[in-house]
Structure formats: C-alpha cells, structure tokens
Amino acid sequence: LLFYLFQVSLDLVKSLYAKFIDWDNEMIDHETGTPAHAANTAISEDLGQVEYILTDKTGTLTENKMIFRRCCINGIFYGNETGDALKDARLLNAVASGAPDVIRFVTIMAICNTVIPIQSKSGDILYKAQSQDEDALVQAAAQLHMVFFNKNSNIFEIKFNASIIRYEVLETLEFTSDRKRMSVVVKDCQNGKIILLSKGADEAILPYAYTGQQTRMFVEAVDQYAQLGLRTLCLAWRELGEDEYQDWSLMFKEASSTLVDREWRIAEVCQRLEHDLEVLGVTAIEDRLQDGVPETIETLRKAGINFWMLTGDKQNTAIQIALSCNFVSPEPKGQLLLIDGKTEDEVRRNLERVLLTMRITTSEPKDVAFVVDGWALEIALKHYRKAFTELAILSRTAICCRVTPSQKAQLVEILKSCDYRTLAIGDGGNDVRMIQQADIGVGISGREGLQAARAADYSIGKFRFLRRLILVHGRYSYNRTAFLSQYSFYKSLVICFIQIFFSFISGVSGTSLFNSVSLMAYNVFYTSIPVLVSVLDKDLSEETVMQHPQILFYCQAGRLLNPSTFAGWFGRSLFHVSPVSFFGCNYY
C-alpha cells in the first residue's frame, strides 16, 4: 500500500512538472505562436542530468529559411561580387540572351523537384514544397523569368519570356539519404526529346559525369561555397534515346512493384540511368543561424554538457556553421581532427592518429573536436567500433557530416552504451530515429513539418528554448523528484520503525499500534503537505540558474539522489523515531 501511494504521488507530481513546461510563457515562439509541449510526463528529472546533446543542423541550429545566393554555371561564378546571384547583371544577361547552358541550368532549378505551384486569388504563384531547398531553387528560377506556374497531372507548364513551355514528367527518381540525389525524366512537348534532369550532393553527381568532362572547376566551386557556410547542390542533365528509356522504364516499374528489397532494387535501377551526365553547375543556398544559438550552446557547455553535430551537409559547410555557433573554438584555442578515408586501412590510420592526439590533449584546456564523414563513419562503426567508442568517451565535441538517419541512431546508441545520459534534438523526418533512440528526444516544430515533434518526448519552437528546458525545468524537476522520493522513503520508515518498536514492548503479540484509518490518514493527510510544497519548491531563482549554469553539475553527478543521501534519510528516520517511540510509549 505504501509503495502504491508513493508511486501515485510521484506520477502526480511528474505530470505537474510536464504541465509547468506546457505553461511556460517564456518558451513560446512568438514568430509562429508555438508553445513548448511535454509529451512524456515520466522523464522530466532526466533533463537535469543530460551529459550529451546530439543535434541536427538544418532547421535545428539554422532557420531553415533557404535563400539562393550564388551559383557557378560552366565555370563562371555568379554572385561573388554582389553576394546575390539574382542581382548579377552577367547572369541576367545570359538568361535574356538565351545562353544554352544557363537556360538548362535554370530549367533544372524550376522542374527537378516535387513542388506544387498554387495560384492565389490575386494571381500570385505560391509554391508548396516538401524541402526548403527546392522552394528556394524554384523561387530563384522564377526571379530569373523561368516561372513554374502550373502542374496538371504529369504536365509541367513553365512561363519563360512570355512563352509557355510544357514538359511531361515520365518518371520521378526520388531523393533518398543513400543516393543523395533526385532526378526526373521529362519529355519536351515541343520537340519530343526525353531528358534526364538531376540534382544532388557533389559526391552523388560529379563522379557520374560523362567521360572527358572536366569537373575540377565544379569541385572548386563547391569547396569555395562550403567555406562560406553555404549549402551546395550540383545540377546535371543528359538526353535519353527512346529505346533506352523504354527498356529502363520496364525495369523501374518492375522494381517499384516488388515487395522484397524494394528500396535497394529501385536504387540499383536508378543507377543504370543516372550516368554519363553533363554537369551544368553548382547552386549555393544560404541558411542562417537561429537567434540565440551561439549563446545557448555556450551556456550549456558551461553546464558540463557535450555537443555532437550530426548533419547530412558537406564537411566544410558543417565546420563553418560549427565555428559560427560556438560549437568549436577557432584556432589557436580549438583544434579540429579529421577522420576520413575510403578504405579500411585509411580510416584505421586516421582513427588511431586522432585517438593518440585526444589522449595527449585530454589534460590540456584546448578545445579539441573530431570531424568524420559518413563513409569513414560507416567503416569505423563496422570494423573499429571499440576504438571509435573510446574516441566518443574522450571527445567533448564531434561533427559528423554526410550521415544517414540510421548512422545518427547508431551514434546515439554508442554514447548510451557508455552510460551517458543523451538528448537528441532535430526538426525533420530524418531525425526521428535519432530522437527515439536517445534517452530524451526533443523535436523542433519547424518548416519540415511535425514528424520530429510528434515522435519526441518534448517539442519546442526554437533551439534557444533548450537552455531553459534543461537548466530551469530539468534542474527543478530533478531536485523536486530527489526530495520527494527520499521523503516518501523517510516517512514510510518512520511509521514502520515505530510499529517495530511497539511490537517488541508488546511481546511481539502482532498487535498493531495504529488502526487502518490512522495509517491511511498518515500518508494521505498528515504527511502530504511537504509533498505538495515540493512541487513548487525553488531553491534558487530562475535568473540565478540561467546566469550560473555550472550549478547543473550537482544534478549530473547525482549529488541529491544516491546511496549516501538515502542512507542519510534512513539515519534521520531512526533518529526521529527514537524520541517519538520513547515518549509515546512512556505516556501510553
């Protein structure tokens, strides 16, 4: 009965802790009107013991408001001088004059996507896109006079310089985290030509260029844009023969209808078409940091929390974002150690080198972080898992680039296997596995939908609210739960010790000192006030906690709830029982 009452009390106050999060007006995103929400009422105190935060980049650290900034078409850079390619007179003149490569490039921007155009009552064209990257490209194409204005079944209609161009979409080769590219097969309704249009990451497009095409200028463009923290996509195309398309289409339909290894078979069939591409150029899209991200990361670092960034972006782009948001310190205070390689031997050598450096610099104040890409990570997790786990223990900061959703979940699992309390935060469907794998999952209600928020234990509107969620709500919940659990243990011991003492002086007769009503009243009424008070208890003000995040160390170390504190409450119960029993029995 006592255990049941304790469990009910604990569940009740934990529900109230969750409601405090829901009712917190300081965690409302006023831009969207999105409040914080606690979907899981059982783990509020775990927020106060977080040791590792694993975060997505796009839409989590950044605004996910994509703006087309620069591009490189056939080796010519646009937007480098003005910072905005759409205002570059050379690009505007090339579009106006009908330069073939530029027109193809802008056409791919306009129709190689899954965007749906919607015409408003005022006549304006609005775009409904699954990806903010696609929305930015279609909007940029429209500003370059290539306006995607209608989608009727499989017919795309584009308005270009007062003329209407129609394309019939024959097949859509959807983007996946493994393929890292997306393609459409279209037929030009004017001349009947069948064309493959592709866009994707540089490593998913450039290796498939036709033999003889010089791709070095595109590699340089990608590196240059990545150094600026811009997101890059490579655009390519090739013309298909009628027979080639018909033969491939049969294989694609067969793969699409299979029930066994469907995704793998589709990817294999897509590979048969996406080759010998003519690479046209590179786009560069800006995605700015959210307000308060650097301050939030800096504050939580002072609280002893380590950060890992898990992103699908290119390495240089991720590093620049990490530097701008205080994820890592620039030289000479910080040092980045790279783990790359395409073979097991290369990855092993790099992993051993980074591990040796980590062991040496552990005692130094220098901020050291390791950077690993998806390919090297796959090899490390498969063949050198023990060494990588040791690296995870030694490292406070990691930047993992070009990682897949399954790899994100594996990294969370590695940290959990080392008995670290992990929190994963993301905003998109590709973050769901990571969020569900972590001890605590936090979803951001962002522009990529609510998949992450619905799968998470907690949802917030912006990354900066994570600071208050952990430092204020997490710490208060931990302190209150620690007191409540030990106080309930204490009050139960007091009544039990009194009954034991009475049994000895009554000759172990089995007679109870208390009747059932008194026992019930003792737990429900007489000792309930401290429980109610503990729900509202604040040992320090919220301002003090936010200004001195180091206070969280006590929660992380379990200073308030451990065997020694339980022993203290046990001794306290014995000390209090002794005079109560002595004077009570003498009076009786």
**Is 84 an annotated catalytic residue?**
no
Q: Is the peptide bond before 332 cis (omega within 30 degrees of 0)?
A: yes
The Cα–Cα gap between 471 and 542 comes to 9
The Cα–Cα gap between 2 and 520 comes to 9
**Neighbouring C-beta atoms of residue 347, cutoff 10 Å:** 25
The Cα–Cα gap between 159 and 183 comes to 21
Distances (CA, A) of 295 to 134, 164, 271, 367, 546: 30, 50, 44, 17, 11
Taking the mean position of all CA atoms in its chain, how far away is CA 282?
26
**Neighbouring C-beta atoms of residue 8, cutoff 10 Å:** 10
Task: Find the Cα–Cα–Cα–Cα dihedral 392, 395, 399, 400, rounded to 10°.
Answer: -10
The Cα–Cα gap between 199 and 184 comes to 9
Catalytic residue among 46, 56, 88, 457: 56
The Cα–Cα gap between 186 and 182 comes to 13
Answer for the pair 550, 540: CB distance below 8 angstroms, yes or no.
no
Bridge partners (DSSP) listed for residue 338: 371
Spell out a b/e string for 118-128, using b for 16 or more CB atoms within 10 Å of the CB, else e: eeeeeeebebe
Going through 242-305 in order, the beta strands assigned E by DSSP cover 278-286
Nearest to 558 by CA among 490, 479, 476: 479
Taking the mean position of all CA atoms in its chain, how far away is CA 552?
23
507 CB contacts (<8 Å, ≥6 apart)?
A: none
At residue 86's C-alpha, the angle toward residues 80 and 88, to 5°, is 50
Residues recognised as catalytic: 56
